Structure 1
Amino acid sequence: MDDLRERAARPEDLSRFVVERLNAGDVEGLVALYEPDAVLALPNGRVATGSEEIRQAYEHLVADRPTFTPGRQQPTLRNGDLALTSVRLADGGVTVEVARRQPDSTWLWVIDQPSLLG
């Protein structure tokens, strides 16, 4: 992971970082928000598993340089080293993610469902 990028001190930081890095087109920074064997839900019921598939998904997503707007962070539910995070999006959708505390006390996503209907 690039040591110059800010790391998530709290699970809620991941949602802010993903929007910042999407808008910057920073694919490697996006991949750095996930554990190496994480899963990312994709449209049409597909799933990207692991860093390489997640990288390919984000390369495709940012190719046309869309603009992403931050949503409203919902309360985080924690149990030990796991956290359930969620963001309510402006279009009424919701994201749901599971983050895990890393040995250095930072957080990374292990499961990411970015587009549930509200």
Structure 2
Amino acid sequence: MAAEIQNSTDALHQNQKQLKQALYNLKQTQAQLIHSEKMSSLGQLVAGIAHEINNPVNFIHANLSYVNDYSLDLLKLIHLYQQHYPNPEVEIAEQTEEVELDFLAEDLPNILNSMKVGTERISKIV
């Protein structure tokens, strides 16, 4: 009888040990599943943000070449006016100084090029 009790006790301890291991494994699996779900949600969020950033950046990037061309055309036109009408009215001369036309004509293409490089860098990142 004592042997049977000992065998039952040993079997009970073995079952208890197996149940503890099973519980530990379940908790580990649950933690991994929760982590996987969080990472999946984070991935979806990041993809959505990237998409929302890329759309306007691509729009800007695609139109920068047109803005650059139009700006150069306007600056050429202004230069032609300056050649053919070297003595503008006072209001035009004042406005030319106020907007710093010479600096603007030099800097605008640089700014547009910087914007192009910036949008390219953003597109590569996102």
| TM-score exceeds 0.5 | no
TM-score, scaled to structure 1: 0.22
Task: From the CA coordinates, give the structure whose radius of gyration is larger.
Answer: 2
Higher helix proportion (structure 1 or 2): 2
Q: TM-score, normalised by structure 2?
A: 0.21
Structure with greater proportional strand content: 1
Instruction: Identify which of structures 1 and 2 has the higher relative contact order when contacts are C-alpha pairs closer than 8 Å and 6+ apart.
Output: 2
